[in-house]
Structure formats: C-alpha cells, structure tokens
Amino acid sequence: MRLSTGIILSLLAVLITPELYAAESGIPALSLTGDSAGGQTWSISIQVLLLMTALTLLPSLVLAATSFTRIIIVLAILRQAIGMPQTPPNQVLIGLALFLSFFIMGPVLTEVYEQGLNPYMEGEIELSEAATAAQEPLRNFMLSQVREPDLAMFAEIAGHAPYETVADVPMTVLLPSFLTSELKTAFQIGFLTFIPFLIIDLVVSSVLMSMGMLMLSPMLVSLPFKIMLFVLVDGWSLLMGTLASSFAV
C-alpha cells in the first residue's frame, strides 16, 4: 500500500516542475514549517491537495508517459482483425493493457519510488529535489522509445534550437514526441498482426466466389479459421511477449 501511494505521488511530481514547488506564495496553505533537524516540510493541507490532484491526473499520466498507449492500440487492432469487435470486451482489453504496462514499467516505477519519493518521505531530501529525481527514470524511459524525427519536429514547432544533450529536452516537448512515436510503433505492430487474418479472409472470399456462394458472408466462414489459427500459434502469449520485448532498450 505504501509503494502504491508512493508511486502516485511520484508520478504527480513528474508533471509539475520543481520550480513550482520552490515558488513563494501568499496562500497560507503553501507555507513551510521548520522541523527539529533544521529542514523544512510542507503543511498537511498541501500534502492532501497534492494527493487528490495526483489521483485526478493519474489516468492522463498513464496514457501519456507509459507503455499503455502502444499496448491498447495493438490489442484493439487485433480484435478488429479477428473479426470480433466486441470480444474480448473493452474492460478485458483495458485490464490486460494496464497490468502488462505495470509489468513493463515496474523497474521504472521502482526507480521513481526509490530515488524520489522514499528519500522525501524519510526526510532525506526536500520536495523540489524529490520531484527532480522522480522525473529522471520516466524521462529515460521515454527518451529510449522516442523517435528522433518526432522529437526534432516538436522542438522546431516550439521554436527551440537543436538540443545538445538529452538532458536539455523539456517535458513539454518530450511528452508529445513520445506519444507520437508510440502511435507510429503501435500501428506498425498492428499492421503486421493484421496481415495473417487478412490473408484468411481473402482465401475464404475467393473460395466462396468460385463456388457461387455469394449469399454466404465470408466473415462468417473465416471467423472460425482465424480463431483456430490464433489459438494454434498461441497468439496471446506470442503477442504479449512481442509487446513486452518491443520496449527493450
């Protein structure tokens, strides 16, 4: 439970720049209090506010900065390729994509917790330092998956000069670049997944037309063959393994 709460707070810290934490404000809820060790801690009210904001922004962060986007798109294309638009249902696909994302992002989230949130909860670093430390694992993950042309395109749109190092890439440029790259990769994998089922549809349609059975739907006949092919090649394990390995650096 502690790790789950820690991950949520660390993910929120990634979305907010460390400078925002250090900014002075006249709002009493943002006041700092000193501790016995000479450090500073945030008031309880702002901690509750950060937690509630994290719960609100967490779904958007899951879509924007993790492997979830690529996985759910490939699964949706697979369902369409088989010819069963409603099977498996959306809840099953989302659950499968979510837990596979947790599997893939496990090492990254562990680093976020160990480098950012845990030291802050132990009082070893300030919140601004924790926010900076929590950003690094997610930044490294997204940078390992982003395509250079996409990154250059958004940097040019933002009016930025070419970055000398990856550390100079701001999150405002990295996030849309990462999402665009994920969409491209997802459609490439989905295309390769679609081809075998398309071949079965073409073969069945040709056979039915040659037999003069024009009133019989080719989709109805090809569906059992596509399901049989998917089961015989152990399609779910093959697809899940391919998606997981596609994130290997």
Q: DSSP label at 213?
A: -
Planar angle of CA 244, 68, 133, nearest 5 degrees: 90
Which residues, at least 6 apart from 215, have a Cβ–Cβ distance to it below 8 Å? none
**Does the pLDDT of residue 98 top 60, yes or no?**
yes
Of 15-19, 44-48, 78-82, 202-206, least confident by mean pLDDT is 15-19
- 224: buried, middle or exposed (CB in 10 Å: 19+, 13-18, 0-12)? exposed
Cα–Cα distance list, 33 to 22, 29, 42 (Å): 14, 11, 7
Instruction: Give the residue-averaged pLDDT of 150-155.
Output: 86
* Strand segments (E) across 98-145: none
Q: What is the pLDDT of residues 161-194, one digit of tens each?
A: 777 777 778 888 888 888 899 999 999 999 998 9
**Does the pLDDT of residue 40 top 70, yes or no?**
no
Measured distance CA(117)–CA(108) in Å, rounded? 13
Measured distance CA(143)–CA(151) in Å, rounded? 9
- The gap between the terminal CA atoms of the chain, to the nearest Å, is 30
Residues in the chain: 249
Q: pTM of the predicted model, to two decimals?
A: 0.72
Measured distance CA(234)–CA(231) in Å, rounded? 5
Of 70-74, 101-105, 125-129, 169-173, least confident by mean pLDDT is 125-129
Q: DSSP label at 88?
A: S
213 phi-psi bin (left φ>0, alpha ψ -120 to 50, beta other): beta
Q: When comparing pLDDT for 193 and 27, which is higher?
A: 193
